[in-house]
Amino acid sequence: MRTILFIMIFLLIGALFIISNQNLRINKDTDFKKFAGLYYSWFGSLFDNLKDLSGYVIKSEWLPQTTEKINLSNSTNITK
C-alpha cells in the first residue's frame, strides 16, 4: 500500500512540476494537449533511465576482489 501511494505521489509531483515550469493552464485544450505530450515524454524517459540504472546494477561486480585463494576442502574439520 505504501509503495502504491509513493508512486502516485511521485507521479503527481512530476505532473505539477511540468505544469508549473511550462506555465500551463490545464483547462485550455491546447495547454492540456501540450501537458499530455510533455508528461508522457517525461514518463517514457523515466522508464528509460530506470532501465539503464537496472542494467548498470546487474552488470556491477558486487563481490570484493581478493588475491588469496580459499581452500574449501580444508576449511571445515570433519571427523569420522
- The whole-angstrom separation of Cα 4 and Cα 63 is 33
With respect to residue 10, please indicate whether it lies within any of the assigned structural domains: yes
Neighbouring residues of 38: CB distance < 8 A, sequence distance ≥ 6: 18, 22
Query: What is the number of domains present in the chain?
Result: 1
What is the secondary structure of the chain as a DSSP string? -HHHHHHHHHHHHHHHHHHHHHT--TTSHHHHHHHHHHHHHHHHHHHHHHHHHHHHHHHS--SPP-SSPP-GGGSS----
Residue 68 domain-assigned? Answer: no
- Give the per-residue pLDDT at 3: 95
pLDDT tens digits, 37-72: 999 999 999 999 999 999 999 998 888 877 776 666
pLDDT of residue 28: 93
Tell me, yes or no, whether 78 lies in a domain.
no
**Domain, as residue range, for 17:** 2-59
Asked if residue 24 is part of any domain, the answer here is: yes
Decide if 65 is inside a domain.
Answer: no
